[in-house]
Amino acid sequence: MIEYKYPEEREILIHYAEKMENETALDILKQGVVSNREQALALSQFYWGMIDVAADDQGSGFPLLEKEGIEQWMEYIFHSLNGYLVSNGYEEEWDQE
């Protein structure tokens, strides 16, 4: 299971997966596991794309991000996803982006 330092990380990820209409990422996040190389790559690509979207909208529509800003939350999420993927053998997929 993907372990987050803060539960809000998962909420933020799901918010952006829905906003970006990324069903693959949404499925992975709801299941909480990556089962293969393709999913690891999809999650990595989603994260890096999400950063651009979050920077563009400055968290509008997500009260936590509007109040506290996106930078720190993106860093927390980075460490959670990086730690999960690397520890499960998907370092190459994470590093591709």
Note down pLDDT in tens along the chain; length 97 residues. 999 999 999 999 999 999 999 999 999 999 999 999 999 999 999 999 999 999 888 878 778 777 777 889 999 999 999 999 999 999 999 988 6
Does the pTM of the predicted model rise above 0.95? no
Contact (CB, 8 A) for 14 and 30: yes
pLDDT recorded at residue 58: 83
Q: Which long-range contacts (CB under 8 A, 24 or more apart) does 63-66 make?
A: 64/8, 64/11, 64/12, 65/12
pLDDT recorded at residue 97: 63
pLDDT recorded at residue 35: 95
